Structure 1
Amino acid sequence: MNLQRFTDKVVLVTGAASGIGLGTTERLAREGARVLACDINATLLRDETDRLAQQGLDVTAQVLDVTDAASCEAAVAEAVARFSKLDALCNIAGTLLNKRFAEISEAEWQRQMAINVTGIFSLCHAAMPHLLASRGNIVNCASIAGIIGVPYGTAYSASKGAVIMFSRALAVEYAGQGVRVNAICPGAVATPLSQNTILPDDADFNLVGKLLPLLPVMGQPEDIAAGIAFLASDDARFMTGAALVMDGGQTAL
């Protein structure tokens, strides 16, 4: 990869042990970033960051529970203490629940919101003073489920719709202060999260089938990582408040 858009840049990435978060960590590091890679899965995170470090990439592991505000504050503080600044925050950590609405418990609803929404709030809140200092930016991982209704995904769709509107509102508030905020909206991507998701028994596949990509290939984490890298780079300096869709045509119909 010849692009070096993140030379001398410091980026914090969540959900970095697998899937889109791992793909983003590797992509940004290969473009020259110093990455604080964060995830709740300490063992997998250490294995992956060690692998990337052995390839000469500047990646440091930090265990993070996005549902814990103190853990979010500690991760941001570690990035700044270690690297003296923070240029970009990529909130990729998330969870997915596919379940009939009538069967969703309050605890399951709260978990979706805690991981997918409140975690992003906590990290943005902790990072903003440092991003103001660096005139940096934020990329939040939403989903096409925040744009269209997804069958058996009421809690997930609600959380991702919240991410999009949170990103837009934050972008408006901080545009005049030099901090950009954008969301990325992946469609179907081959990640452990999506591949381990089970649809309800007797699911209506006429509904589910409407969500298939138009392209004859499945999205890969590196595809979405490329979009995140663009949004976090100076190539997107005129983009803020955007919700960039990367879905192989799922929402084109």
Structure 2
Amino acid sequence: MSSLSNKVALVTGASSGLGAAVARLFARRGASVFGVARDEQRLTEVFAEVPGGRFVTADIATSAACRSVVEQCVADFGRLDILVNVAGAHRMRRTGEVTDEDWDHDLAVNLNGPFYLCRAALPALLDAGGAIVNVASIAGVEGQAYSAGYCAAKHGLVGLTRALAVEFTADRLRVNAVCPGGMLTPQITGFSLPDGADPNLVLRAAAPRGMNEPEEVAAVIAFLAGPDASAVHGAVYLADNGKTAG
């Protein structure tokens, strides 16, 4: 297990699911965690289990909010070593029924926010020789029914990860992505199908070995963020229980 001692990690989506699991695990491995999410009550509950952690409520879909979040993290801890872009949203819709507002929201939360945060965090991360871990999805490497906006955004996040990795190959910065399959998080347990949807199309996204627990994917993220992954840069790690293996 890689130690994250003396590292400062900014984790979005930290109020539940994978983001909460990452915040807890990073703290156990010695990191100072700065959490971001929209739900203050749930953040308070999660960070009761994150010693020394701090958090702020924000909507990462806007550039100004992302810039403010990074500034607050650096002001609180004096540095930033790790950025983990977990926050995301997935709502299934028939493509013909997707509104302009739906499309804008899918891209704003799942792609724009991570980009804004990466851009705002670059000076601090380059100074620290840090790491970015973007949480994409298997929807970032394959198609999924009723998920045009989500797939487009997650494919974009994979592309963003690779572009940053190439651009900063000569710098003290590592950029990688994780593509989880289905996880037992509120995003999955609370999802609903569009009226008249074909369940067989939806089941194509399921892994034969079943769902991941958030803690399993959090461990992959901790590896990529830590010193044991010093040779890993520009990688897209599939954590999908073999779903995309064949």
TM-score of the superposed pair, with normalisation by structure 1: 0.94
In structure 1, the partner of 2:111 is 117
SS in structure 2 at match of 1:107: helix
Deviating 4+ runs (over 3 angstroms): none
SS in structure 2 at match of 1:200: coil
Kindly provide the amino acid, as one letter, of the partner of residue 243 in structure 2. Answer: Q
In structure 2, the partner of 1:182 is 176
Which ranges in structure 2 are unaligned for 5 or more consecutive residues? Answer: none
Preserved CA contact (<8 Å) 1:86 1:131:
yes
Q: Equivalent residues in 2 for 1:1-253 (5 A)?
A: 3=1, 5-50=3-48, 52-53=49-50, 57-215=51-209, 217-253=210-246
Tell me how far apart the structure 1 counterparts of residues 116 and 206 of structure 2 sit (CA, whole Å).
Answer: 33
- Any idea what the Cα deviations from partners look like across 1:205-249, whole Å, max 9, x if unmatched? 22222222121x421110110111011011111111111000111
Tell me how far apart the structure 2 counterparts of residues 122 and 110 of structure 1 sit (CA, whole Å).
Answer: 15
Which is further off, 18-27 or 73-82? Answer: 73-82
Across the two proteins, how many residue pairs are aligned to each other?
Answer: 246
- Any idea what the Cα deviations from partners look like across 1:38-57, whole Å, max 9, x if unmatched? 1111121122212x14xxx2
SS in structure 2 at match of 1:177: coil
Which ranges in structure 1 are unaligned for 5 or more consecutive residues? Answer: none
Preserved CA contact (<8 Å) 2:36 2:55:
yes
Alignment identity in percent?
40
SS in structure 1 at match of 2:72: helix
TM-score of the superposed pair, with normalisation by structure 2: 0.97
CA RMSD of aligned residues (A): 1.1
SS in structure 1 at match of 2:215: helix
Preserved CA contact (<8 Å) 1:11 1:34:
yes
- Any idea what the Cα deviations from partners look like across 1:131-158, whole Å, max 9, x if unmatched? 0100101001100001111011111100
- Any idea what the Cα deviations from partners look like across 1:66-101, whole Å, max 9, x if unmatched? 012222111111111111111000000000021111
SS in structure 1 at match of 2:201: helix
Preserved CA contact (<8 Å) 1:69 1:122:
yes
